[in-house]
Structure 1
Amino acid sequence: MPETTRWAWLWALLLLLLAAGLGLTAWQGRLRINTDVLAMLPKDERRPEVEQALQALAKAGDGRLIVLVQNAAAADRFAEVFAAQAPGVSLRHKVDPAQQAAWLDFFSPQRGALLTDAQRAQLQQASAEALAQQALQNLLQPVGALRVGRWADDPFNSLGQWFAERAQGSRVRVHEGRLTVHAPDGDWALILIDSPGSAFALAHNERLAQALAAARAAVAPVKVIAAGVPLHAHAAATQAQSEMHLIGAGSLVGVFVLSWFAFARIRPRLLVLLSVGSGLLVAVGLTLAVFGELHLITLVFGASLVGVAENYASSYYAARIERGAEQRFAVMREQLPTMGLALLTTLAGYALLATTPFPGLQQVALFSAAGLAAAFVTTWLWFPHLDQGSVPLRPLTRAMGRAWAAWPALRPRAAALLLAGLGGLTAWGFVRLQANDDIRLLQATPPALLQDQIELARHLDLPSPAQFFLLEAGSEAELLAAEEALKAKLAPLREQKLISGWQAVSDWVPSPARQQADAALLQRRWAEAAPLVQSLLGQTLPAGGAVQPKLLMVADWLAAPVSEAARHQWLGANSQGRWHAVLQLRGVAGVQALPALAALADGNAVRWVDKVAEVSELLARQRVRMAGVLAIAVVAVAGLLAWRFGRRSWRALFPTVLAGALSLALLGLSGQPLQLFHVLALLLLLGVGVDYGIFLLAQPQRADLRGFVSVTLAAASTWLAFGLLGLSSTPALRAFGITLGLGIVLAWVLTPFFIPDESPHAS
């Protein structure tokens, strides 16, 4: 009995236990699939308060859909159909008078302490006579501006004017009991849909998408604009699932066809499937254990594991050609050192991928490395036991043998000419290669959904969740005062049309100092104007105008429905006793406004956060860093190969390095911008492409076709896997797939030129 039998049974037991555990996890509903693209990006560990702010802004719209319907009656029909199709959602598009009254009544105790900037300036500058005339006009002409309570309680109608200014900050109105948006292209009915489920729950988002489609159809041809995180998550999940099936099925079919034409037996194909299946099983289990979830991007990338994991099976079966079944254990022992070295170089590539600060890439690296290692172990322990048939020489493998025999090994002069030509092409491509790390180039949102998002933001004048000010202070009162100071600095930028406005908690809850100062100002000026009003009326005024208003606190505002639109901007106190809040901006006038906005930050109490720019800068830094890591990796792999092959080791490494350089040059010549994901693809190319040199150096005789068959099948299956990634709609995966696909083809073509023929007849 071979010495690996006990280990083979132990490996089988481990896989069975893992399969049972994953099955139980799925049955209990604990198998979490994440579709949030932002979850793939790094968290800001150095500034946890910034990360908290980003999470709060993201959570505010987590399960919400915002819908605009260009017809009030159609909006009623839309809401009816949607509610029927998606029971359990909270749908709002009408407001009854009681709700409006409760909203106004919340602020009535603060009457006299809430002033607009214009009111404050008027009260400070106007004469007592002018103020008396204004109060008298408010009494004699009550129809017009909104009023809350009796005239005697607010003679200047300060609260009504304050409400009017708040209303101007939003395009949403209540018209005939409906939420209505006044936009340049007419009035739109607004529908707010809040989902109780997670914004990234696949089945739940599918129901929301179906309900939206049914409601749209019910009101056609009336125009409907809809946007929200669940729709983006559903689009990402649908796209990822489609690509996962395409890449996985394409790789699997390709591998099966290759193995059939190469080995003409069903058993090799089934064993390849067993190897790949065990790799996927271990990859899923280990990734869930470490990260607690699987990202759909990981699954799409993991689908390419099929083609790479097949390499070990190809190596074994290529070595088995025309060798009897009784030699299968000896064949495995012969191939094991070479296969192990190939695995190490590939794992090194994934290990370097895991050094990036991107959680998504770390997950991809772990998933792929675990899957490949498991496929290798399955091939090593099980194949000799389960493979009992013969492997004849087939027309395809015979043709590969002829190609290998005819492939010329470069002489010094030919090598110099080839390198000169390829060097010139590479230099030309590098001159034209330009880096562009803008994160927006990696956006994969469907055009229709992106257009709806843009239109909705324009109609509602929504604040940006990616560019904002983060304020910090030692107390609640200081934080509100800091917001008021920042808004005073933003006012000139609004006049210059660099922004259209802002949204802040202090818009609704002024600082205690401001409330007290405004209340004192109003009472003082009313005390001056009241005798004049009384004289003009010729009667005694009712009591009330000098009532001390109640101080409005943030906690009371947060607990009331009136805070819904902005409560997510109040972050409160952290564990160190520091208070934080977010001030969001509306209508930022493009990149020309950013320097002026950034100049208002002091880096401490007031911070400017531009997530798009920060992530783009991070991508640029990581691209440069990973290029350095790639250079170190080349040196490390060179040392590993030198340990195995001595002075011949450069022959295994140089073709892959040249293939990588040519891949970048071709990107430059085609006008593609250089990004981090192109460099990361080169890391994997180093691990995968060097394998071809390893196998050919291990079997350099041109009369022996087994090594070249193994390399060709491995390159073909790997190209099928990563080449199909080049068809992905996700720009990062597409960049990865195109670069690696080019590199694999070039490495396979170039490597044989550098392998000297060591057959006995060779001169």
Structure 2
Amino acid sequence: MSWLSSKKYLYLWWLATITVLLYLAMAAPSAKWSSNITAALPGNNTAWQQLIQQNNSSRHLSLLLSGVSLAELQQAASQLQQEPITHLHWLQPGATFQQLQTLYQQHQALLVSPEQLAWLRSGQYQPLVDAAWQRLYSPSPLLENALQQDPLLLTQQYLEQQTTSNGLLLRPAWFELTTQRQPAILLYASLNIDPFERNNGQAMANALEQKLSQLQQQWPSLNIARSGVLFHAVVAAKNASFEMQLYGGISLSAILLLIWFSFANWRPLILALTTLGCASAFGLAAVLLLFEQPHVLGLVFATTLIGIAIDYSFHGMLAANKGNKTFKRMLPSLLLGLITTLLGYLALMFLPFPILNQVAVFMAVGLIVAFLTVKIVFLHWLPAASMTVNKYLLQFCANLSLKYNQAKPKWLLAVGSLALVAVSCSLLLQIQFNDDVRLFNQSPAELLQQEQQVRSAGGQNWDSRFIVLLGDSTEQLLQHEQSLQALLHTWQQQGKLGSWQATVQRVPPLQLQDEVQQLLQLAYQSEPGQDYLQQLQLKPPAAITKRLSPESFPSSFIQQIQPLNDKFASVILLSKLNLTSSDLTLLNAYPNTYWLDPIADTNASVKKLRYQLSIWLALALVLAIVILFWRRGGRAAGAIMLILVLAISSALLISLQLQQQLNIFNLIAALLVLALALDYGIFFTAKLPHQEVVQAVFLSATTSCLAFGLLAFSKTPAIASFGLTVFLGVALACILSPLLSVLAVKENKIHAAL
């Protein structure tokens, strides 16, 4: 590259950098970062997961107020609801129930309980009459025209059974209840934004928490329990942002201190910051361009770019300081290291795992830009002999290099082979994997406890497993749900099911409504029915021609029915499950009925993905060895393979001992260790001065260990597993890779290079 052409590339580099920075200035502030954990899950585009995502339950939140007198609770609840919060709407259960009452009032005698329906079908009319008399003696008001339209008060009694369940007392703006012998108030609210949308969700949560803090200052004994996706999403986003800033800041600060200690010169600092800044800017720009809603956890993983990109800076600075000739001799090894590293990230780019796809794009683009920055900029900004390496670092690396070169090749090969066999066998005998998707994120125990408390108080403690029915129309769905009620009731009687919630409990199918009208006419003509009507001086009402349908309700009341592709899907929620596999096989007798366990299904996807990743890890290793065999020869390729497999196996074995079980993120870490260790192997077999390679690799590995080792302290289990294994693998690769000069490069070639 002539002087003139090198200037041209430098100008192009400046132009590209300025363009990317301008793009980030415009795009970054409006970017929609997601903290939705489902966005990080593999295969999140299946039809079932689309159904889960369509459900609006994630846009609801609940608050349970307790700890003070009922009067104080009422005052606190009123005060909270009177102060508006952007994007949050407090639900009015009393008004909602009144709306339902008005709707049912127009369709009386169509809604009956299972017990009432059984009496009608069996011709047992006296229990119906007795229940009607008992309701008439109650002081509570009746629905308008109830006696004229539904003299047996079937719909009236059904509604009251629903509203008095779970010990909740309906009030206009909330529910009142008794929990742990203390009065409590349960508030519900809905959001008109996606709670996983980081900016709006964070702002709204902060505004709400400010109001709650004011209430607790006014009533110090007031207890507030929270439930809702919003609170978990905000905590996840805060943790990710905090860890990104903390780990990235500590890592960058430590690296800069290390550079200053090593060179005591401002030029290396500027070069390192330029390399990292450009790599990060280009990587972030690529993610914002290719992904509509990047995930915040991806940024935490992406902070590891610091530890890898700085490797290129160290190799570039040390070579540029020796002059143009040494720099050019170093570049092919740096390029080969880049290619092998990209091979590792290539796997992540094509796996059906959205968050890892984002990390792969960020890292791949960032590393390419880091390499180009070193190649284009360093010779211009760092003249030969312009910096002096710390004499203590030089002495340490010289002594280290001497010690390594004194080792005996045959002895090293024998010990290395035995160690590899021992570590590999131990790993294979003990290995256990945990594919639980809950490793991706973990909410604080206090928040989980509050969630459970609110759900139990409101009777909304539904299981994560549920039943899904498919139909060509909503009417067909209701018929399927109705046919399933008998099985659910049987499970409930057997203690295998606590309760369930289905749309058919609110809207009977048209076929059932027709049957009820026919049965009621028979009941009115029966002896108990005629006697009852005569005492009230009522005439038997004519059969009702109006019918109730899901379309009669506001959409917010029928949320368990959703369109799914060209069909409709209905979700039946379940609680307190104790079902066996034989129980679930009974569902096969019902058409278009499916048992859905999202966590188990996602765990199965993670397991399948883990197998794919294992295969790619092996293929990447083979492909890297083939490339090395082509570029370095069989001796070097074999030696590097020995060091690689020993470092990766040892890192996984130690991680297994510390974690008890491995997970997919340990394998992802192993893939990255493969890429980093290949870099070290390439430079130690490049016939470069051994002492300088020891110096560059030592500094590079130190920075990588800092960047990845900090992740081991993450509150997110997935990130912690990833950081631990990479830290161990890089440390081991740094310790073992200098031996490659003895195993793979002949002594006379080493001295010739010197």
- Shared fold, TM over 0.5: yes
Between stretches 126-135 and 511-520, larger displacement belongs to: 126-135
1:137/1:385 CA distance change after superposition, 3 Å: closer
- Distance in 1 separating the partners of 2:319 and 2:438: 48
Specify the alignment match of 2:18 in structure 1.
16
Change (3 A) 1:623 1:177: closer
In 2: Cα distance, 1:535 partner to 1:229 partner? 52
CA distance in 2, matches of 1:603, 1:380: 67
In structure 2, what is the equivalent of residue 650 of structure 1?
638
8 Å contact from structure 2 (residues 687, 750) kept in 1? no
* Alpha carbons 2:507, 2:550 under 8 Å: kept: yes
- Distance in structure 1 (CA, Å) of the matches to 2:261 and 2:533: 108
Contact 1:82/1:214, CA 8 A, preserved across alignment: no
Equivalent residues of 1:309, 1:375 under 8 A apart? yes
Which residue in 2 is equivalent to 1:246?
A: 246
AA aligned to 1:749 is I
Shift of residue 173, structure 1, vs aligned partner: 2.7
CA contact (8 A) 2:475 2:510 kept: yes
Distance 1:11 1:236, change over 3 A: same
Q: Pick from 561, 570, 577: which aligns with 1:581?
A: 570
Q: Which moved more, 1:102-111 or 1:634-643?
A: 102-111
Alignment of 1:154 with 2:150, yes or no, is: yes
Q: Which residue of 2 aligns with 1:491?
A: 489
Deviations 1:204-228 (A, max 9, x none): 2333333334434433322221121
1:33-72 matches, cutoff 5 A: 33-45=33-45, 47-48=46-47, 50-57=48-55, 59-62=56-59, 64-71=61-68, 72=70
Q: Structure 1 length normalisation: TM-score? A: 0.90
Q: Which residue of 2 aligns with 1:723?
A: 709
Match of 1:736 in 2: 722
Letter in 2 for 1:522: L
Residue 170 of structure 2 corresponds to 174
Report SS of the residue matched to 1:294.
coil
2:107 to 102, 107, 110: 110
Q: Which residue of 2 aligns with 1:570?
A: 561
**C-alpha root-mean-square deviation of aligned residues, in Å?**
2.7
- How far apart are 1:587 and its partner, in Å? 2.5
Deviates more, 1:261-270 or 1:63-72: 63-72
Shift of 1:411: 2.6
Q: How many residues align?
A: 738
Q: Distance in 2 between matches of 1:128 and 1:421?
A: 84
2:685 and 2:740 in contact (8 A); partners too = no
2:514, 2:243 → 1: CA distance?
A: 61
Indicate the SS of the match to 1:690: helix
Query: Would you say the 8 A contact 2:621–2:674 is kept in 1?
Result: yes
The 3-state SS of whatever aligns with 2:574 is strand
Partner of 1:669: 657
Task: State the partner residue of 2:466.
Answer: 468
Change (3 A) 1:529 1:138: farther
**In structure 2, which of residues 671, 679, 702 is the aligned counterpart of residue 691 of structure 1?**
679
Q: CA deviation at 1:456?
A: 1.7
The correspondence for 2:362, drawn from 367, 380, 393, is: 367
Cα distance change, pair 2–262 in 1 and its aligned pair in 2 (3 A): farther
Q: How far is the alpha carbon of 1:258 from its aligned partner? A: 1.7
Q: 2:189 aligns with which of 177, 193, 209?
A: 193
**Secondary structure of 1:738 counterpart:** helix
* Greater mean alpha carbon deviation, residues 467-476 or residues 272-281: 467-476
Task: Determine the structure 1 residue equivalent to 2:594.
Answer: 607
More displaced, 392-401 or 473-482? 392-401
Q: Equivalences for 1:270-309 in 2 at 5 Å?
A: 270-309=270-309
Verify the 8 A CA contact 1:232 1:445 in the aligned structure 2: yes
State the match for 2:603 in structure 1. Answer: 616
SS at match of 2:194: coil
- Structure 1 regions of 5+ residues with no counterpart? none
Does 521-530 or 343-352 show the bigger shift? 521-530
Superposed, 1:422-433 pairs within 5 Å as: 423-433=421-431
Deviation at 1:602, TM superposition (A): 6.3
> How many angstroms does 1:553 deviate by?
1.1
8 Å CA contact 2:317–2:378 kept in 1: the answer is no
Structure 2 Cα separation of the partners of residues 291 and 692 of structure 1:
33
Distance 1:352 1:570, change over 3 A: same
Distance, in Å, in 1 between the alignment partners of 2:180 and 2:545 is 39
- Aligned partner of 2:477 among 479, 483, 505: 479
Once the two structures are TM-superposed, the CA of residue 183 in structure 1 deviates from its matched residue by 4.6
Structure 1 residue aligned with 2:118: 121
Does residue 399 of structure 1 match 2:385? no
SS in 2 for 1:156: coil
Output the CA distance in 1 between the equivalents of 2:130 and 2:234.
60
Q: Distance in 2 between matches of 1:116 and 1:594?
A: 30
Say which SS state the counterpart of residue 3 (structure 1) adopts.
helix
TM-fit CA distance, 1:84: 7.2
Structure 2 SS opposite 1:674: coil
Q: Aligned equivalents of 1:114 and 1:11: distance in 2?
A: 73
Q: Aligned letter for 2:733?
A: A
Distance 1:692 1:177 in 2: 66
User: How far did residue 128 of structure 1 move?
Assistant: 5.2
Q: Is the Cα–Cα contact under 8 Å of residues 526 and 546 in structure 1 kept in the other structure?
A: no
Q: Report the CA distance shift for 1:426/1:216 in structure 2 as closer, same or farther (over 3 A).
A: farther
Any idea what SS the aligned residue of 1:568 has? coil
Secondary structure in 1 aligned to 2:559?
A: helix
Residues 159, 721 of structure 1: alpha-carbon distance in 2 compared, 3 angstrom cutoff:
same
Q: Which residue of 2 aligns with 1:266?
A: 266
What SS class does the counterpart of residue 170 from structure 2 fall into? strand
What is the letter of the counterpart of residue 595 of structure 2?
Answer: W
Amino acid at match of 2:475: A
Shift of 1:177: 6.8
Question: What is the rounded CA distance, in whole Å, between the counterparts of 1:553 and 1:11 in structure 2?
Answer: 65
What amino acid maps onto 2:160 in structure 1? A
Deviations 1:8-35 (A, max 9, x none): 2112111111111221224xx5221211
Cα shift at 1:549 = 5.0
Alignment of 1:200-599 (within 5 A): 200-202=197-199, 203-204=202-203, 205-321=205-321, 323=322, 327=323, 329-388=324-383, 390-394=386-390, 395-407=392-404, 408-421=406-419, 423-464=421-462, 466-529=464-527, 532-533=530-531, 537=535, 541-543=537-539, 545-559=541-555, 563-564=556-557, 567-572=558-563, 574=564, 576=566, 578-589=567-578, 593=580, 596-597=583-584, 599=586
Q: String of CA shifts for 1:455-481, please: whole Å, max 9, x gaps.
A: 222222325373211111122221110
SS of the aligned residue for 1:34 comes to coil
| Shift, 1:424, TM fit | 2.5
Mark the CA change 1:317 to 1:40 in structure 2 (over 3 Å): closer, same or farther.
Answer: same
Distance (Å, rounded) in 2 between the aligned partners of 1:373 and 1:122? 76
- 2:24–2:285 CA contact under 8 A, matched in 1: yes
Q: Distance in 2 between matches of 1:594 and 1:93?
A: 39
Q: Label 1:398 to 1:601 Cα distance change in 2 as closer, same or farther (>3 A).
A: farther
Q: Matched residue of 1:61: which SS?
A: helix
Contact 1:700 1:759 in 2 (8 A): no
How has the CA–CA distance of structure 1 residues 595 and 210 changed in structure 2, closer, same or farther, with 3 Å as cutoff?
farther
The alpha-carbon deviation at position 542 of structure 1 amounts to 2.9
**Contact 1:466–1:612 (Cα < 8 Å) also in 2:** yes
Asked if 2 retains the 8 angstrom alpha-carbon contact of 1:316 and 1:332, the reply is: yes
User: What SS does the aligned partner of 1:193 have?
Assistant: strand
**Structure 1 residue 165 and structure 2 residue 164: aligned?**
no
User: Displacement of 1:43 after TM fit?
Assistant: 3.8
Residues 419 and 73 of structure 1, relative CA distance in 2, 3 Å threshold: farther
Q: 1:84 to 1:654 in 2, by over 3 A?
A: farther
Question: Aligned partners of 1:249, 1:418: CA distance in 2, in Å?
Answer: 38
Q: Is the 8 A contact 1:146 1:164 kept in 2?
A: no
| 1:660 aligned onto 2:648 | yes
Most deviating of 2-11 and 360-369: 2-11
Deviation larger for 612-621 or 201-210: 201-210
Q: Do the aligned residues in 1 keep the contact of 2:62 with 2:186 (CA within 8 Å)?
A: no
Cα distance, 1:70 vs structure 2: 4.6
